[in-house]
Each structure stands twice: as C-alpha cells, then as structure tokens.
Structure 1
C-alpha cells in the first residue's frame, strides 16, 4: 500500500516508528514532515497529506499529533477526506468498516507505541463494508 504520513512535533516520535514499521512490512511511505520535535503548526504538515490522499496519489494517510484532534480536524477540511481519530483497534476497525476512512489520526500522548502500531495494522487491513454505509458517505460528499 502507498501511504502518506505527517505529524506535528508532538507526533514526531511515533511517526518515525510507524514509518519504519510500515516500510519493514513492505509498504511505500512518503513522509510529509515535520522533521523534528521542534514546535510547529500542524496544518502545514497535515493538510498536504490530506490533499495528496484526496487527489488519489496515495491509498491512505496517517496523521499524528499530541492528541490527534487538531490533525483530524485539519485533514477533514479537505474535500474527499474522511479522517478518523482512533484510540484503540475497535475504533480503527469501525472507522474503516462503516466510514471508509482514508486517513487515520493518532495522538502520541494518548497511547503507547504498541497500541498505535496495532491501530495502524487494523486501519490498513480493514475493508469498507459498503451497503447501508455507502449512502451515508455519499451524503457527506454532497
């Protein structure tokens, strides 16, 4: 899978770990920054991830911050993006299964690394269920 990833300073450490993890699993990963734990404004790094996913250049996106809330909000401002803020594997499964989320938001300060990696696995492995959920997705896009 071809994955876009970006973070602010508060999500930088997990972003680096997730990039290594995904590449070792055979995924292609493009890092949109940031490149350190120095304080930055998250929209500068999150919006380009969302725009690239919305344009079809990537299969999925992952964005990270301290809580993941601002990152999810920023990503969801881009038309065609359905970014789910996830805190456990069940929330990741449902955001794909029912919402066809194409971007995952994670909060580094909200979970340990093992949990974050498990969430990433479930997010990437779960297919959209379609059916009754498809009409709801279409309503969002209108």
Structure 2
C-alpha cells in the first residue's frame, strides 16, 4: 500500500469517526426529544460528566503525538509500514475517546438536558476529533 493510499484510508476513518461520534445526538433528539424527561435532576450532572470526559482523551492524545512523530521519522525506511500501523492504532483509540462527550450528550436527551449544552458537548467532540487529523506535512 502506498503512502497516499494509507493517508486516504486514515482520512476516511476520520470521517467515519466523526459520523459515529455525532450522529447519535440528532438521532436521540429526534427519537426521544419530544417526550418527558426521565430524571430531570440528572441533567446538569450529566452535562458536567460529559464535559469531564474530554479529559479522558488527554493521555490518548499524547500517545497519538508520539506515534505521529515516530511515523514522520520512519518515512522512507523499512519501519514505515509498522509506523503507519501504530499511528492508526493510537489514533483509533484516541478518536474513540474523543467521541465520549457527544455520546454523553446523546444520552442526556433522556434526562431532559437543553439543546445548547448538548450542542456544546457535540462541539467539544468535533474539536477533539479535529486534533486527530493527519497533518499535510506527514508524507
């Protein structure tokens, strides 16, 4: 597989994780947004928990950056395919953790969290996922 094909697959994976992270929020809002809240007192604690999940991705971001640096150093060597695989693995795990705020926002529909806090959680997922785009300078 060429370097361009690997980068194309990683770009496609980014878009897939963006969809996996953000699509549950409008689906849950459409399906359950019109009903009564199950436990409205949990709305604010769930928002705080969703915002706190952003910090779960910090160690994964460090691992991703280390893998990114190792991949840039391995370009053109025999270790390049293994470096791309390690970068994809670290990035996949980091993007999974980056989706947590939006997923908590989707669950918060059930407890009656307002639209603006849910959008803030989705925006935080979007920003976190943006950190995991493969830079143009790589390859």
More strand by share: 1
Q: TM-score, normalised by structure 1?
A: 0.27
Greater C-alpha Rg: 2
- Structure scoring higher RCO (CA < 8 A, sep ≥ 6) equals 2
More helix by share: 2
